[in-house]
Structure 1
Amino acid sequence: MAKVHPNTTAAASADGPPKTSVVRKEDGGEVSLTVWRKSLLFGCSGFTVFDSKGNLVFRVDVYGSAVGALVLMDSCGNPLLTLRRRKMSLGGTWLIFNGEDAVDPVYSVERQVSLRHGGALAHVKPRRLQGGRGYEIKGSYARRSCRVYDERRRAVAEVRRKEPAGGAAFGGDVFRLVVESDFDACLAMALVIVLDQMFG
């Protein structure tokens, strides 16, 4: 079986919790992350995310099948963003909060229900009065081929299939998340988690 990343075992060593890894930009100014739809904790579902050097960057651990809130954490388990499905939303709307806050969302992500929007999967809208940018997600999450576009129609993040070096395919559970230098990798990963809930 192909390895997801060579440093997977090092990230979960018995020497204590892994050090928090800062997401570093590569030569082109972009960040390339490997996303694994699996928790490193036994009996949990979730996500484990590595940078290009194999360092653990983000994780999501889901206990049980009922999903009330999903917490995106750094490698040490510190909460970065919390994602909650908005109650009574017909099309599937998710709210993104800073840390473990559950009062003042920073973004809402609305699933696109109309077919008239040219392949849009979801719309990301800022929720705070001080403004912020909106984004649109297009493509196919099921095929691991979608992009996040800003208001100027620039692709700021992209989900791609991960091609293994040895030949054996990873399937849909391991893929790449490529984030441009001026976009927050933490927010990009939060959007991947929401897409997985909407279309996974």
Structure 2
Amino acid sequence: MAKVHPNAASPALELPRPAVSCRGGAAGRQEAAVLTVWRKSLLFNCSGFTVFDAKGSLVFRVDNYGSGSKGEVLLMDAAGKPLLTIRRKKLSLGDHWLIYNGEETVNPGFSVKRHVNFLQSKALAHVTPCGAGAGGAGHEVQGSYSQRSCAVYDERRRPVAEVRRKEAAAGGVAFGADVFRLVVQPDLDVSFAMAIVIVLDQMFGSRGYRIKG
């Protein structure tokens, strides 16, 4: 396989720890963040994700132990500090996940539901804020996650995050579907965008990587 991660150093992105938010990213970030997502844990006998920035520094990790019977995924920073918890909503119709701040499992910040209207085939999922006082409009994911070609659109129909295939360097070994790019615009939080990718993988990814509820 082509080299996925040039380095495994400290994170280059400064990741904030507010309550769950879709807005912003690294403090003062003016350009799109281009991440390489590897659908593999760095730990032996674990499934998950390992995410690097454009310089090859580790920024996110997901390590799922055992069978994952709790229907829960924890997004961590490079040092293993919990950032967001993604949990399947129990007793709900269809594929429905909730995003919580840190390791909390009460008062979710966002809800992600799989799109079920097959007459509108472009839509994959809908992301909406939770709670009676939740402000702001939601996001919609369109495209094909299985083909690694999809985008997250904001309320103004602007693409604020995109999943793209990662191309190998000239003469190198081609990357498969387990290595891809995540491009996040400055007005979307980078960890929130990665949380959406994790949910998409649960909804549309290979069953070998899925967490059972």
TM over 0.5: yes
Within 1, Cα distance between the matches of 2:11 and 2:106? 27
Within 1, Cα distance between the matches of 2:74 and 2:99? 10
| Residue matched to 1:133 | 137
| Residue matched to 2:23 | none
Within 1, Cα distance between the matches of 2:173 and 2:30? 28
| Residue matched to 1:3 | 3
| Residue matched to 2:101 | 98
Q: How does 1:35-50 map to 2 (within 5 A)?
A: 35-50=37-52
| Residue matched to 1:15 | none
Q: Deviations over 1:150-169 (max 9, x none)?
A: 01000000000000114321
| Residue matched to 1:14 | none
Q: Is 1:71 the counterpart of 2:62 in the alignment?
A: no
* Structure 1 segments unaligned to the other structure (5+ residues): 12-18
Q: How does 1:16-165 map to 2 (within 5 A)?
A: 19-22=10-13, 29-68=31-70, 69-128=72-131, 129-165=133-169
Is the Cα–Cα contact under 8 Å of residues 21 and 75 in structure 1 kept in the other structure? Answer: no
Find the residue that maps to 1:194 and give its secondary structure: helix
Which protein has greater RCO, CA pairs closer than 8 Å, 6+ apart?
Answer: 2
Offset, 1:93 = 0.3
Offset, 1:67 = 4.2
Offset, 1:118 = 4.4
Find the residue that maps to 2:37 and give its secondary structure: strand
| Residue matched to 1:190 | 195
| Residue matched to 1:167 | 172
Within 1, Cα distance between the matches of 2:167 and 2:66? 31
Offset, 1:22 = 1.7
Within 2, Cα distance between the matches of 1:66 and 1:79? 17
Q: Deviations over 1:73-100 (max 9, x none)?
A: 0000111000000012221100000001
Q: How many residues align?
A: 190
Q: Deviations over 1:126-169 (max 9, x none)?
A: 00314133100000000000000001000000000000114321
Cα distance change, pair 169–28 in 1 and its aligned pair in 2 (3 A): farther
| Residue matched to 2:18 | none
User: How many percent identity over aligned positions?
Assistant: 64
Cα distance change, pair 137–43 in 1 and its aligned pair in 2 (3 A): same
Within 2, Cα distance between the matches of 1:94 and 1:152? 24
* Structure 2 segments unaligned to the other structure (5+ residues): 15-25, 206-213
* TM-score normalised according to structure 2 size: 0.84
Q: Deviations over 1:13-71 (max 9, x none)?
A: xxxxxx3432569x971010000000001111100000000000000000012342100
* CA RMSD across the alignment: 1.7
Q: Which runs of structure 1 show a deviation greater than 6 angstroms over 4 or more consecutive aligned residues?
A: none
Q: Is 1:180 the counterpart of 2:204 in the alignment?
A: no
